[in-house]
A = this chain, B = another copy of it.
Amino acid sequence: MTNIEILGFVSAFLTTISFLPQTIQVIKTRDTSSLSLAMYSIFTVGVAFWLVYGIIIGDKAVIIANLITFVLSSVILSMKVYNDVKIKREKNVIN
């Protein structure tokens, strides 16, 4: 492995693993109020596209990194959608 390959590997590891603390925080606190629905919608679709791209070009690093990110991002997005739907329903009950 060259130094450049190691740098690429570390970069991919950091940007992938960074979504783990956010996922844990969302699961623990159930709070998604300041998370952007648009961000997680676009991001999750984008990561899914990266995953398909990785599968087509047969790059294991791209596949693994984006598979992990896709799972983490999907959990965050699901919790965000669940909370937003819940808040909307509660508002409708009040009105």
Contact = CB atoms under 8 A, between A and B. Distances in A.
Number of copies: 2
A32 B14 CA distance: 21
A4 B45 contact: no
A38 B53 CA distance: 28
Interface residues of A, number: 41
Given A10-B49, A53-B7, A56-B7, A15 B34 contact: no
Interface of A: 4, 7-8, 10-22, 24-26, 29, 31-36, 38-43, 45-47, 49-50, 52-53, 56-57
19 contacts: A7-B49, A11-B47, A11-B49, A12-B46, A13-B46, A15-B42, A18-B39, A18-B41, A18-B42, A18-B46, A19-B39, A20-B39, A21-B42, A22-B35, A24-B36, A31-B34, A32-B34, A33-B34, A34-B34
